[in-house]
Amino acid sequence: MTIFVSTDWLAGELGRPDLVILDASLFLPGTPRDPRAEYAAAHIPGAAYLDLPGLSDPDDPTPGMLPPDAMMTRHMQALGVNADSRIIVYDNSPTHSAARGWWMMRVYGLGADQGMSAAILDGGLPKWIAEGRPVESGVPAPAPGNAIARLDRAQVRTKADILANLDSGEAQLLDARGAGRFTGAEAEPRPGMASGHIPGSRNIPSSAFFTAGHVMKQGDELRRLFLEAGTDFGRPIIATCGSGVTAAIILAGLESLGKTDVSLYDGSWSEWGFDPATPKATGAA
């Protein structure tokens, strides 16, 4: 399956027994919106709610870190995910958080082809509704699934990895936060967090990846976006952001262009920015 599927495609697949649809809407801290309540009010028929904030390691001091395999397994089975499921993730969020959900399916090897059949609904719920397609309300109870989550740590980078990369320069870092947060001109949304960016990283704000209709840019237009930001396609790329959510948009974009030597710094600025010992840069890249 491709990384992105269209609303037309999904409309034709609704009701298939091997299809699992997940609403992965997520909002930044302080936003007066409740993704769970919005899901209950209106979601794509048959969709289950993927609680991204709840799917994090309870023992890690950094919020939003990937959960243990057993915890991920319990959550996915409760959502009806089976070993052969085709998983479609969507959102109704300005953060385009479906990408994080998609990446989690991939990194834990969930569903058909060990996660490689997971996809993002291009345009998400806004496009679906704008086209007059059906929605339903309530909170359905899927039949329990049998999927087993196994984290592929080769796709994940740690703070130690990033510190080592500052010395080696092997991989290039791409940061998906807004330009103001990247340069340090704009305060971080979490109190007490330093401003700026990881030294040597480049900046592509996540909003730049989408058209006005919430659809992901493709082909030459997408490649040009990366190149104009100084992306070196000859090096491995590590994506980062504020908390590991919008960084997944970078990975989805790169993989749609055929680049697969990519990974994600899960702690991102939530970890790096809170650590007084990590080096930080300000200003443009």
Q: Which domains does the chain have, with CATH numbers?
A: 4-151 (3.40.250.10), 154-272 (3.40.250.10)
Q: Is 241 a catalytic residue?
A: yes
Q: Is the pLDDT of residue 213 over 90?
A: no
Residue pair 119/89 in contact (Cβ under 8 Å)? The answer is yes
Q: Which of 241, 248, 251, 262 is catalytic?
A: 241
CB 125 within 8 A of CB 49: no
User: With bands split at pLDDT 50, 70 and 90, how would you rate the model's confidence at 57?
Assistant: very high
**Residue pointed to by tokens 């443009």:** 284
E-assigned strand segments in 46-201? 48-49, 86-90, 119-121, 156-157, 172-175
Q: What is the DSSP string of 27-90?
A: --TT-S--HHHHHHHSB-TT-EE--TTTSS-TT-SSTTPPPPHHHHHHHHHHTT--TT-EEEEE
Q: What is the pLDDT of residues 141-185, one digit of tens each?
A: 999 999 999 999 999 999 999 999 999 999 999 999 999 999 999
pLDDT over 80 (residue 29): no
For residues 108 and 151, is the Cβ–Cβ distance under 8 A?
Answer: yes
Quick check: 191 pLDDT over 90? no
Task: Please give the Cα distance from 236 to 218 (Å, whole number).
Answer: 21
State the first-to-last Cα distance of the chain, in angstroms, to the nearest integer.
Answer: 35
Cβ atoms of 246 and 96 within 8 Å: the answer is yes
Alpha-carbon radius of gyration of the chain: 18
Distance CA 189, CA 184 (A): 12
Is 231 in contact with 256 (CB distance < 8 Å)? Answer: no
Cα separation, 162 vs 160, in Å, equals 5
pLDDT of residue 28: 81
| Per-residue pLDDT, 189 | 84
Mean residue pLDDT across the chain: 97
pLDDT at 267: 98
Nearest to residue 230, comparing CAs of 175, 162, 178? 175
Where is average pLDDT lowest: 29-33, 82-86, 161-165, 205-209? 29-33
- Segment 108-140, tens digit of pLDDT: 999 999 989 999 999 999 999 999 999 999 999
Specify whether the CB–CB gap between 73 and 46 falls below 8 A: no
Mean pLDDT of 193-201: 97
Q: Specify whether the CB–CB gap between 154 and 263 falls below 8 A.
A: yes
Q: What are phi and psi of 224, to 5 degrees?
A: -60, -40
Average pLDDT over residues 203-221: 96
